[in-house]
Amino acid sequence: MSDYFKNRRVVVTGGAGFLGSYVIEALRERGCKNILVPQIQDYNLVNLDDIIRMYEDMKPDIVIHLAAVVGGIGANRAHPGQFFYENLMMGVQLIEQARIRNIEKFVAIGTVCAYPKFTPVPFKEEDIWNGYPEETNAPYGLAKKMLLVQSQAYRDEYGFNSIFLVPVNLYGPRDNFDPQSSHVIPALIKKCVDAVQNGKGYIDCWGTGSASREFIYAQDAAEGILLATEHYNSSEPVNIGTGFEITIKHLAEKIADITDFRGQICWDNANPDGQPKRCLDVSKAQKLFGFKAKTDFAKGLKETIEWYKHKCKTGG
């Protein structure tokens, strides 16, 4: 393990969140002594004055920008304007102020939602501009994709060192299980566990179940992000994923089996499936900075389910 981070001051926006908690742990394991996390109550990173104050207070060498306003299909449909504006303003202003201060490196975290709706599987990085994103999360995906444009433009004009990573859907312990804003894995886990605890004979699921998704364990994603921070210095986007896809129907059945839910899974066709397929080509990450996801999907699901069950028991 390198000592790249040892004497650098690293700001992790969103460091108090789900993915952020794993990035912080991995930074500590690498011997990073100066990890700085702007808390939302102290710095509203949509606000330029707060961004300027954050840079002046924290004086980072590196910024890893994880902070985002995110959610599942329902949250994206309910708040397209908010998701577009807040994600765009956070990222664009953070990069601009980093450039002005000539910081050493900016790591922008994009989203698989930036890919076109009908991207050929597996998604290759060069396909990212070949169409419009899936409609339900297009405002979020496009806001994030503008950071790729900015990263490349700033490298061309100013020689500013920023990179743009495209992680696939995350899952794992500490995920968001709020039914109003959670993604598909925590939503399904909660439905199944709650149904077992309450003796309910069925669960309702959105869509047809035919869409496919790829998932990466959050701890693996954190490792990919830090390997890229250490070793990658180009503005071409790089996928962070596993290269493995599963249909939502099969996923629901798998979670039902692990949670011992034996009831009926009812599909609500009135709600959308979202993007038809999602599976990344992950060869560039392995080639450029040696990243390959390690966590077996079934093992990761079991650990996530056990974490949620423990949280329910302890009320944590």
Q: What is the pLDDT along the chain (316 residues), one digit of tens a residue?
A: 679 999 999 999 999 999 999 999 999 999 999 999 999 999 999 999 999 999 999 999 999 999 998 877 788 889 999 999 999 999 999 999 999 999 999 999 999 999 999 999 999 999 999 999 999 899 999 999 999 999 999 999 999 999 999 999 999 999 999 988 888 999 999 999 999 999 999 999 989 999 999 999 999 999 999 999 999 999 999 999 999 999 999 999 999 999 999 999 999 988 888 889 999 999 999 999 999 999 999 999 999 999 999 999 887 6
Burial class (CB in 10 A: 0-12, 13-18, 19+), 121: middle
DSSP 160: -
Q: Would 3 be classed as within a structural domain?
A: no
Are 93 and 51 within 8 A, CB to CB? yes
Phi, psi of 78 (to 5 degrees): -80, -30
The dihedral built from the CA positions of residue 40, 312, 206 and 301, taken in this order, carries a sign that is: positive
Query: Residue 114 is part of which domain span?
Result: 9-171+216-241+277-294
Residues known to be catalytic: 140
**Type of residue found at 147:** L
Q: Would 117 be classed as within a structural domain?
A: yes
| Count of Cβ atoms closer than 10 Å to residue 194 Cβ | 17
Q: Would 261 be classed as within a structural domain?
A: no
CATH number of residue 237's parent domain = 3.40.50.720
Q: Would 155 be classed as within a structural domain?
A: yes
Q: Would 49 be classed as within a structural domain?
A: yes
Are 146 and 40 within 8 A, CB to CB? no
Q: Would 109 be classed as within a structural domain?
A: yes
Q: Would 24 be classed as within a structural domain?
A: yes
How many distinct structural domains can be found in the chain?
1
